[in-house]
Structure 1
Amino acid sequence: MSSEYATPTRLTDRTDDLVSWHETVVSNHDDDFEAAKTLSTRLGAHTTTEAVEFGFWTPELVERGVPESKVWLELLTPPTETDPGDTDHRTVSFARERIPMTRAGEYHWVAVEDVRAGTRDELGALYQLVYEEGGNEHTIQDPVSYSVPFGAFAPAEVYDLDALDQTRADRDYFEALGTDDERVSTTEDDGIPRIDPATSMLEIHPGTATERGSLAGLAEVYEGIAEKQRAGDDLEPWERAFAGYDGIQVMPVEPLTENEEEHDFWSVTDDTEDELSVEVARPEMINWGYDIVVSAFSAPNPAILETGRPDELVDFIAACHDLPRPIKVVFDVALGHADNRGAELLSDRYILGPGMYGKHLDYTEPTARAVFLEMQRRKMDFGADGIRVDGAQDFTSYDPETGEMYHDDDFLAEMDRVTQEVAGTEYRPWMIYEDGRPWPREDWELASSYRALIEQHPHSFQWSPITFAHNTPALLTFWATKWWRAREVGEFGGNWLTGVANHDTVRRGTQIDPTVEFNQSPVNPYLGDDYPETLDEAYDNAASSMLFHCFLPGVPMDFVHANMRAPWGFIRDTDPTWNVKVVSDESKFLYWQVRDEDFADDRFFHRVKDLGFDSREELLTFMNALSSAVGATDYDLDVMAAMLSAMDQPLGDDLSAEDLEAYGYAWMRDVHDFANLGYWHDEQDESRARFRHQTREFRHDRPWLISDLDEDADYFTYRHPTDGTVLYYGFRNSPDGSEQLLFAANMEGVPVQVSPESLADDAAGDENAPTIPTDGWEPALVAPGVDDATDVEIANGQAIVWRREP
């Protein structure tokens, strides 16, 4: 194999130049953090025309006294025909070279020539740092790599990022942001443009959004939509679920943790001095995206790259940018924690200690702080327009003087200051924070303003209180009890993301026990005839869609699974410790998302059927017992197995903890398949899909709706007393005075009669209300089932918008 390529060789002069640069950076900065921000830009592998430069931050080696002579860069060059997109396990023999590295402070550097760099068409050389200590060899993976074709626990790939950037299909999109000479009209002091917010946005989980479960599959969806829109062809109903938006938030696309008991995508089988034989496969894991190890954060998750190439992420972004109305792509960045296995890949200096979601990161360590920001910069440089910071309230640090944790707003401000450079254009992304502080304090629902970071960064957006995780619109009185939060959206929600459906809220809906007769509101009987219909209607109805898209300020966001009324829940097979507990927490999914005919369908639930479950009812009985056993035993799997063995269930009368774990994995994988939108294309209702699309177009035709209501000219309230119906209604005026809108929605309750005259009469009783005209109104958008008139009856989940020209 050695004859296929030149042997990688250390370049001493270039390596010395790297070390000299390092020393200059350190000497020119008194502040460790500022120096680390510069040094971190050259960590990892960077291709140049003459060489590839490598850098690692290795404080643990220096602290433990590992000699420089015992540290090497290991390069593993695969055969040229190796397919990184192949999910089949097979053995690959890599040519192996070890290159001495030079230490500078806590860093190791080296420049190497004749290193194969990965491209769209070819797998490049893999690399890792190797060191010897106590007679044993150990490896360190690159935490700021651009490509990890075999997962974060395997060596990273040298990748030609310059070639990727030069060949991306949307270069014109970025160049249109302006050249250095043109950047004169900007809100930023330094002349760097910031991406404007979207008008409306869609949240997507790449792993279940298409039959292929990949970014290539998503790109194909949007390429097909663009082709039809340019040709003037009608979209299929399922395509409409993806269309009409100018923003997409993709759930995290970072490399994930792996389950040691279930996953093995890189396993050394044999090694010699010049060759390493490894059983490899492109990772296949089930996860909703938030269980990241932080290491390799800057690379795309290979589990959603069917080609195994980072180009696939760029191609998806380019497909969105290429629509007749370009779609901005927002990355969901979950740097607020690391999965527990992150400690296996990261230096201890990155980690503060255990946290709510695994490991709590140390944002006060200067170099770790800089590297986290560098991870963000590199990931966003794939071409994202915006960044959504997941759980910003979780970015906390420890104050040794008070002995307490505090919100590290300085670090969040550093995240806001990171700029991107794509296709030669520097820009600032649209900044979005999810921040429910003081969550998880017990009174967070009352205490959170959802505005803390907007007040610090007026250009930024936050998730609104109606959008944050714990909303349950399938329960009666939701819209009555949440009125105060809805009113806040109207009064100061212009910098909020709004909408009731997202990956967290729908999941919370499926966790409700609908049989509870006390301590919670009853299920809304007006939404549907069974629980699945009720849940579908709760997160996708005309009233809530029109409320956010046609009337209230902010940026409305929908969830594609809710748009298609497809199943969605918590999915992951990456956690060997809490696997069964998570499944038990999701036990009510069977009430809300699975009909008898769904379970009987040969396409679904074949794994639990193979375990002996013949009906949904039988499975539901077992799931309820499993959930009770978790609570009764404080999650002791052995005791749980003994308890469940005593009941009549298909798994037998001699259950073990291993049997329960196997059941948990089977359930999670079946739900993952069940939630794949490819199965639900033919179930879409044409009139509903078309109408929801119209609500989004209504918004795009009126971009002024993003602004807060004018307290003098606009009005938003609910009819009280409710008399059995929660009727929201409101009046808005366009800033240029050319249009007025009158909105009415039956958010929940019995049918109610409304007209401009009746609403004007209601408002007349409020001394703070403006005068609502009663003449000249014409229906502008009418929910399915409502008469196209000025005096109409609207049932639960229906709405109407009238318009007039003053």
Structure 2
Amino acid sequence: MSSGYAPPTLLSDRTDDLVSWYETTVESHDDAFEAAKELATRLGAHVAPEDDTDTNTGADTDTNTGADTDTNTGADADTATVEFGFWTPEIVDADVPESAVELELLTSPADLDPGETDHREVSFRRDRVSVRRAGEYHWAVVGGVRTGTRGTLGSLYQLVYEDENGEEQTIQDPVSYSVPFGAFAPAEVYDVGVLDETRTDREYFEALGTEDERVSTTEDDGLPRIDPATSMLEIHPGTATERGSLAGLAEVYEDIAGKQRAGDALEPWERAFAGYDGIQVMPLEPLTENKEQHDFWSVKQGESANTSTSEASGGSSDEQRESADISTSEGSSDEQRESDDKLTVEVARPEIINWGYDIVVSAFSAPNPAILETGRPDELVDFIAACHDLPRPVKVVFDVALGHADNRGAELLNDRYILGPGMYGKHLDYTEPTARAVFLEMQRRKMDFGADGIRVDGAQDFTSYDPETGEMYHDDDFLAEMDRVTQEVAGTEYRPWMIYEDGRPWPRVDWELAASYRTLIEQHPHSFQWSPITFAHNTPALLTFWATKWWRVREVGEFGGNWLTGVANHDTVRRGTQIDPTVEFNQSPVNPYLGEDYPDTIDEAYDNAASSMLFHCFLPGVPMDFAHANMRAPWGFVRDTDLTWNVKVVSDESKFCYWQVRDEDFDDDRFFRRVKDLGFESNDKLLVWMNALSAAVEATDYDLDVMADMLSAMDQPLGDDLSAADLEAYSYAWMRDVHEFANLSHWHDEQDDERMKFRLETREFRHDRPWLLADLDEDDDYFSYRHPTDGTVLYYGFRHSPAGDEQLLFAANMEGVTVDTSPEYLAEDAAEDENAPEIPTDGWEPALVAPGAEESSSSTDPSAVELDNGEAIVWRREL
């Protein structure tokens, strides 16, 4: 820092105005929740509008007096006036005096790159200013604060106070816009106004309210709502590209857009990402961290003259933090406190392995820095802009996981946010008025990065406690509040496409039988839900899946117009790889028609022409595919963020080696380097060990010490004196290896040109016929399967376009032996059903035929085709 550095300064008059606004807001509302919703909009750090009176002229006006006299700048050209607000009931309840609470600002050297993952020590300039307490809140308006932008790391901030034991504690901002060093580090003052003003897709949002708008529905309040996509792709950003970042994903779509505009052919692997007008990105929220594995913000020895060591709550590890004793500077107002000390911190951009759902909720409104290679929130906007800039713009849907918090969320959130322990960590309290309002504000801020749609993860998990009945209930009122949140991007206010995942009465034992998947659609007719065939436990690799699940598939035809459909997503593929293929009882056998080995079987189960054409070419709803399934790449549930359950997580994936790892894959020098270093020389030996580990978890009820003793007795390369620490070390090695193994960049060259071309043609077939979104017409359309099956589950159906200019006839061998079919044969089969419409037999022409399907050599019907397992055909008839 230069000698002319002007420290940030509390602006008393503007702080008083902010406190007055708070008081007026509280007094103007009889309902605590309604007041909290308004108050939540001012929480966190916001660059304040310029005020002509805020010039840096001297201490008497609570402004900076450094060498530079520019408005709101001081010695740093990137400074501004910033409003800060914190909801702090824990401080008030603990009777901490207002004078003991301060805002700490940490300003880095100008050349610090937040995108670097290398750990290095950095000296931050540490300044502290007083804050004003009002009710359960603390407020401050501070001049001379460095603000973050695309090219500048803004000052980091947190609230600090001294507890009753004289130890310094910290409070992080749960509604921050940027956390470059993770949720357990101080947040960054970030100028989202500049971000919005400079985004390159502003015209996309500005057009939402014009005659050429890309939305067709308008709510009663006049706001447009984004239309659903025609088809959608689910993507895990951390493994979708070699770089594992949103910038890497943006580059994929920029390259696709360039080739499409130039008329150039796409590479086979690029086709896996093309043909959709919607993308659902798995959660983008900051994640929990493992105290023993992760340390991206570690405070070192302070450099001030007077320091005292104390443990900081909410740090990224159990390190000791140094804090300076602060005294009021001469010449400053009573409210102003300054410290000219520095704070040395070891920092790194987080590198975390996680599928995205283990969030701490705190800093939910910020992008996950682990997938921002630049460390800048701009990267998220750039990715969205790349999607919007495609020749056919692609809508971006955020996967919002606010139905729970990881256990470590309790270190960052005050107790009023948390109801108690839950199935996935901490159960959030949606009935606490301010917590309820803050959750919604988190959603609003995150979506304001430019999302077109929101997918609410696990809506059935949003439950609250009824003190009168002593039971939990589904908090549909809160889900309705989520639906009411509107977005404002590039000056346009709009309502996003609303999607719920809801399997209630999950976790009731009969949920698969009892769930309607329509509860929230009935409450919010514009919304969509995941279909029953899409939700969770979905195992098409097992024989008879398509026969035994027919009742659910038929529901898609009848009710699917507001459903997301398809069999492949992050959950279902994972569930498929958890099946024990060696089980010989109490489970359908593996479908022998899908492939010659287990990897081929799982690949074909979640990506075959029959299922793809069923959802894209015939059934209603919005078909959704999963990028890993499209590329037949490995996928599993991996995370290195869990301190307690890491070994159990790996044991749950013990069948992964059967389903996802070919011997040649294991032998490849690129893969499984860590477990090979531990002594596992072959896939067979690894599989034996994984099965033993899984059995030990079950036999010991997850007692790591007992497990280590048991496994020491078997012949395995880890030694004959295993400890719990050895098991944990193996688990982290396994998860990191699988994370690398699942990166899609490794599988680009494995893509079959004919298959990828046909899948893209299948999606384009859907886009040419948007009318397929609607439910089947109960009078004119038809959907059934052949009775009896005779060894083949043959689905078929008949649909009319609303314009009356086209009819489609679909047939697919979903599983089983080869079968012959034709329009004549299907018309004859349907005629046996008195409820079926008459299917014409003339005028049909093949519109889309799966690779491998061919004219039948055994049928006397010249239009007959022979469909093998997983093959399908669509005929078209013009009217």
What TM-score, normalized to structure 1? 0.99
Q: Could you tell me how far 1:492 is from its partner in structure 2?
A: 1.0
Cα shift at 1:43:
0.1
How far off its partner does 1:790 sit? 3.0
Q: Deviations over 1:310-361 (max 9, x none)?
A: 0000000000000000000000000000000000000000000000000000
Q: Which residue of 2 aligns with 1:35?
A: 35
Distance change (3 Å), C-alpha of 1:667 and 1:42 = same
For residues 385-400 of structure 1, the aligned pairs below 5 Å read 385-400=452-467
Amino acid at match of 1:158: V
2:279 counterpart of 1:248 = yes
Q: Distance in 1 between matches of 2:254 and 2:505?
A: 42
- Aligned partners of 2:4 and 2:495: how far apart in 1? 43
Cross-structure match for 1:746? 813
Letter in 1 for 2:11: L
> Residue 749 of structure 1 aligns to which amino acid in structure 2?
G
| Separation in 2, partners of 1:212, 1:257 | 21
On the 8 A contact 1:715/1:769 being kept in 2, the answer is yes
1:545 to 612, 633, 636: 612
| TM-score for both structures, normalised by structure 2 | 0.91
Q: Is the 8 A contact 1:179 1:425 kept in 2?
A: no
- Deviation, 1:576, is 1.2
Following superposition, the deviation at residue 186 of structure 1 comes to 4.2
Partner of 1:85: 115
3-state SS of 1:377 partner: helix
1:323 paired residue number = 390
Residues 539 and 562 of structure 1 are in contact (CA less than 8 Å); yes or no, is this contact kept in structure 2?
yes
From the superposition, tell whether residues 637 and 707 of structure 1 become closer, same or farther in structure 2 (CA, over 3 Å).
same
- Aligned residue in 2 for 1:379: 446
Aligned to 2:47: 47
Correspondence 1:359 to 2:359: no
CA 1:787–1:265 in 2, change beyond 3 Å: closer, same or farther? same
Match of 1:482 in 2: 549
In 2, Cα distance between the equivalents of 1:371 and 1:6?
A: 34
**Worse-superposed segment, 761-770 or 170-179:** 170-179
Query: Aligned AA for 2:168?
Result: E
Residue 679 (structure 2) aligns with: 612
Residue 686 of structure 1 pairs with residue 753 of structure 2: yes
Aligned equivalent of 1:209: 240
Say whether the 8 Å CA contact 1:779–1:790 is kept in structure 2.
no
Q: In the TM superposition, what are the counterparts of 1:96-135 in structure 2 within 5 Å?
A: 96-134=126-164, 135=166
Residue type matched to 1:16 in 2?
D
Q: Is 2:283–2:399's contact at 8 Å kept on the other side of the alignment? A: yes
**Maintained 8 Å contact 1:350/1:365:** yes
Partners of 2:671 and 2:217 in 1: CA distance: 52
Runs of 4+ in structure 1 deviating by more than 6 angstroms, as ranges, are 179-185
Q: Please give the secondary structure, in 2, of the residue aligned with 1:729.
A: strand
Instruction: Give 1:512-661 correspondences, 5 Å limit.
Output: 512-661=579-728
Residues in 1 aligned to 2:4 and 2:44: alpha-carbon distance in whole angstroms: 25
The answer to whether the Cα contact below 8 Å between 2:114 and 2:375 also exists between their aligned partners in 1 is yes
Q: Deviations over 1:687-743 (max 9, x none)?
A: 000000000000000000000000000000000100000000000000010000000
Deviations 1:653-683 (A, max 9, x none): 0100000000000000000000000100000
Question: Which position in structure 2 is the counterpart of 1:155?
Answer: 186
User: How far apart, CA to CA, are the structure 2 residues paired with 1:419 and 1:681?
Assistant: 39
**Distance in 2 of aligned mates of 1:519 and 1:239:** 41
Q: Is the 8 A contact 1:254 1:300 kept in 2?
A: yes
Query: What is the CA distance between 1:787 and its match in structure 2?
Result: 2.4
Give the counterpart letter for 2:868 in structure 1. A
Quote the offset at 1:805 in angstroms: 1.0
Mapped to 1, the partners of 2:399 and 2:359 lie a distance apart of: 12
8 A contact 1:184–1:191 mirrored in 2: no
| AA at the equivalent of 2:865 | V
Question: Hey, what's the Cα distance between the residues in 1 that align with 2:610 and 2:579?
Answer: 22
Deviation at 1:185, TM superposition (A): 7.2
CA contact (8 A) 2:216 2:227 kept: no
Distance 1:328 1:172, change over 3 A: same
- Cα displacement (A) at 1:187: 3.2
CA distance in structure 2 between the partners assigned to 1:471 and 1:3 by the alignment: 65
Output one character per residue of 1:41-95: Cα deviation in whole Å (capped at 9) or x when no partner: 0000000244100000000111111100000010000000000000000001010
1:429 lines up with 2:496 in the alignment: yes
How big is the shift at 1:421? 0.2
3-state SS of 1:225 partner: helix
Equivalent runs, 1:304-319 vs 2, <5 Å: 304-319=371-386
Does the CA contact (< 8 Å) of 2:83 and 2:142 recur in 1?
A: yes
Of residues 95, 103, 112 in structure 2, which corresponds to 1:65? 95
Secondary structure of 1:241's match?
helix
2:526 matches 1:459: yes
Match of 2:67 in 1: none
Task: Give the deviation of 1:5 after TM superposition.
Answer: 4.5
1:187 corresponds to: 218
- 3-state secondary structure, aligned to 1:73: strand
Among 817, 833, 854, the alignment partner of 1:787 is 854
1:728 has 2:795 as partner:
yes
* Contact 1:339-1:358 at 8 Å conserved across structures: yes
Distance in 1 separating the partners of 2:4 and 2:113: 17
CA shift for structure 1 position 6: 3.0
**Unpaired segments of 5 or more residues in structure 2?**
51-80, 305-323, 325-340, 856-861
Deviations 1:200-228 (A, max 9, x none): 00000000000000000000000000000
Give the CA deviation at 1:270. 1.7
Q: In 2 relative to 1, CA 182–496 (structure 1 residues): closer, same or farther, beyond 3 Å?
A: closer
Cα RMSD over matched residues? Answer: 1.2
Contact 2:172–2:185 at 8 Å: present in 1 too? Answer: yes
CA gap of 1:174–1:434, structure 2 versus 1, over 3 A, is same
Structure 1 Cα separation of the partners of residues 618 and 344 of structure 2 = 61
SS in structure 2 of the partner of residue 618 of structure 1 = helix
Please state whether the residue corresponding to 1:401 is helix, strand or coil.
Answer: coil
> Partners of 2:545 and 2:794 in 1: how far apart?
13
The one-character-per-residue Cα deviations of 1:258-304 (angstroms, maximum 9, x if unpaired) are 00010000000021242110000000010000000000000000000
- Partner-residue secondary structure (3-state), 2:809: strand
Q: Say whether residues 1:9 and 2:76 are aligned partners.
A: no
Is the partner of 2:208 in helix, strand or coil?
coil
Q: For the Cα contact (< 8 Å) 2:215–2:225, is it kept in 1?
A: no
Residues of 2 paired with 1:49 and 1:469: CA distance? 47
- 3-state SS of paired residue (2:299): strand
Q: Which moved more, 1:179-188 or 1:666-675?
A: 179-188
Query: Are the aligned partners of 1:777 and 1:790 in contact in 2 as well (CA < 8 Å)?
Result: no
Provide the aligned length of Structure 1 versus Structure 2: 806
CA distance in 2, matches of 1:740, 1:585: 47
1:76 pairs with one of 103, 106, 114 = 106
Q: Is the 8 A contact 1:183 1:193 kept in 2?
A: no
Is residue 504 from structure 1 mapped to residue 585 from structure 2 by the alignment? no
**Equivalent AA in structure 1 for residue 876 of structure 2:** R
Distance 2:209 2:688 in 1: 61
Aligned 8 A contact 2:217 2:227 in 1 = no
User: Is 2:849 aligned against 1:797?
Assistant: no
Q: Return 5+ residue gaps in structure 1 as ranges.
A: none
Q: Distance in 2 between matches of 1:726 and 1:362?
A: 47
Report deviation, 1:429: 0.3
Kept after mapping to 2: 8 A contact 1:185/1:191? no
Aligned in 2, Cα 1:553/1:5: closer, same or farther, shift over 3 Å? farther
The residue aligned with 2:313 is none
**Alpha-carbon distance change, 356 to 66 in structure 1, aligned in 2, over 3 angstroms:** same
Work out the CA distance in 2 between the residues paired with 1:196 and 1:600. Answer: 47
Whole-angstrom CA distance in 2 between matches of 1:29 and 1:300 = 33
Match of 1:136 among 167, 173, 176: 167
Alignment check: 8 A CA contact 1:203 1:558 kept: yes
Higher Cα radius of gyration = 2
Aligned to 2:23: 23
What is the distance in 2 between the residues matched to 1:48 and 1:59? Answer: 25
Of all paired residues, the percent bearing the same amino acid is 84
